[in-house]
Amino acid sequence: MSELSQPRTDLAPVRRSSGLFGIDLASPRHASKLGYLLLAPAALLILAILVYPMLLAIDISFHDVKFATLSFGASEYTLANYQKLFSSPDFWKAIGVTAQLLVVVTSISMAVGMGTALLVNQQFRGRSFARMLIALPWAIPEVVAVVTWVWILDASFGVFNWLLIKAGLVGGPVSWFSQPGTAFSAVTMVMVWKGYPFISIMILAGLQSIPEEYYQAAKVDGANVFQRFFWITIPCIAPVLGVTLILTILWVFRDFSIIYVLTGGGPVGATETLAIMTYEEAFNFFRMGYASAIGVVTLLICAIISAFLVKKTSHAIY
């Protein structure tokens, strides 16, 4: 009888760890508990830095306060802020401006981002350099970039007006930030310039994941370039497009620094979005309760748009 075949009755019983609070986390029965335990620090951190301020803002929005403090329910609850908000023409104007900006900036940015992604997805000399150039606006800190644009678009001494006059496109200097139409155009232009690189990078990543065989098979079947684009490229990058669209919409919705540095929301409210209105009410006019109400409404609109788009894009994917 070999040593190995001897009965193991003489071996000491295996000691099992008593684990945390007597629970053996290594046991398959408790495996999910270990998962929750490992996730707990991150979840608690998110609760602390995201959910708590959000709850605080919702609480403040139901109080008629100018200066807010960190104590929940310190004064009487009221709907006054929401009543004032929904009867304010400024609020509805800000909704309108935000919606216009959302449609114009998102559509132009998506088009430019798609175009540049398709361009740098081709094989050509200097492709890496072209990719770097396209990504450049995204890499520059937002406020630095916008201050530079303020100088470029300066009505009296800006280089943009000089170029337009020299090219004979305008008769005299354009006061970009003094007229509602030109101010909106300036904001749109800078937002597109700042926003399209992100879209381009995302779409480029999507394009590179499309197997070449799909295109080869389509060519064999006689599909032209447009057919290949609409029947192979678009469906294959639809998931990426969906996520990018949601992120771009949310970025336009909440962007503050570009508009604030360029126009401060003016002239006569032509570029005053909900984000600008929230800041003005909170930190310029010191009406924290009212500003929180605008913030809560903005949050709800963003949540509805996101939920709608997520549903739509998930249908498109699957």
Partner 1 sequence: MRKTTIAGAALGLLLATTSLAQAETLKFLTWQLTEDTYGPWWEAVIAKFEEAHPGDTVEATQIARQDFADTMMTQFAGGSPPDIVHLASFEYQPFAANGWLEDLGPWIDKAGLDLDGWAGQNLCTWEGSTRCINLQYFAYIMGVNTALLEEAGLEIPTGWDEFVAAARALTKDTDGDGITDVYGTGLHLASGNNYINDMLNFVLDAGGSWTTPEGKPAFDTPEMVAAIDHWATLIREGLVPADTTGGDARQLFVEGKVAMRIENPGLAGVIETSASEEMKPNLKLVPSPFDPPVGGASAVITMPSEIPDERKQKVWDFIAIATSPEMQELFSEVVGAPAPRPGSVTDAVLASTPEYGLVVEAMEKAAAAGVDRVPVGLETHYNELASIVREEIQRMIIENRTAEDTAATLQERVSALQ
Chain residues in the site for partner 1 (CB under 8 A): 66-70, 154-157, 161-162, 165, 171-173, 175-180, 264-269, 280, 283-286, 288
The answer to whether residues 103 and 111 touch, using CB atoms and an 8 Å cutoff, is no
112 vs 270, beta carbon nearer partner 1: 270
Q: CA 201, CA 204: separation in Å to the nearest integer?
A: 5
The answer to whether residues 252 and 110 touch, using CB atoms and an 8 Å cutoff, is no
CA 173: distance to chain centroid?
Answer: 35
68 vs 120, beta carbon nearer partner 1: 68
170 vs 310, beta carbon nearer partner 1: 170
Smallest gap from Cβ 177 to partner 1, in A, equals 5
Smallest gap from Cβ 43 to partner 1, in A, equals 25
**What is the three-class DSSP state of 175?**
coil
Smallest gap from Cβ 162 to partner 1, in A, equals 7
Smallest gap from Cβ 96 to partner 1, in A, equals 17
54 vs 247, beta carbon nearer partner 1: 54
249 vs 288, beta carbon nearer partner 1: 288
Per-state percent for the chain, helix, strand, coil, to nearest 5: 70, 0, 30
Q: CA 286, CA 57: separation in Å to the nearest integer?
A: 14
Tell me which DSSP letter residue 11 carries.
S
Smallest gap from Cβ 175 to partner 1, in A, equals 4
Query: Of 59, 60, 76, 58, whose CA–CA distance to 68 is shortest?
Result: 60
Smallest gap from Cβ 55 to partner 1, in A, equals 16
Smallest gap from Cβ 253 to partner 1, in A, equals 22
DSSP readout, 177-246?
Answer: TTSHHHHHHHHHHHHHHHHHHHHHHHHHHHHHTS-HHHHHHHHHTT--HHHHIIIIIHHHHHHHHHHHHH
CB burial of 111-135 (b: ≥16 within 10 Å; e: otherwise) equals ebbbebbeebbeeeeeeeeebeebb
DSSP readout, 119-166?
Answer: HHTS--TTHHHHHHHHHHHHHS-HHHHHHHHHHHT-TTT-HHHHHHHH
117 vs 293, beta carbon nearer partner 1: 293
161 vs 200, beta carbon nearer partner 1: 161
12 vs 70, beta carbon nearer partner 1: 70
Smallest gap from Cβ 157 to partner 1, in A, equals 7
35 vs 53, beta carbon nearer partner 1: 53
Smallest gap from Cβ 57 to partner 1, in A, equals 13
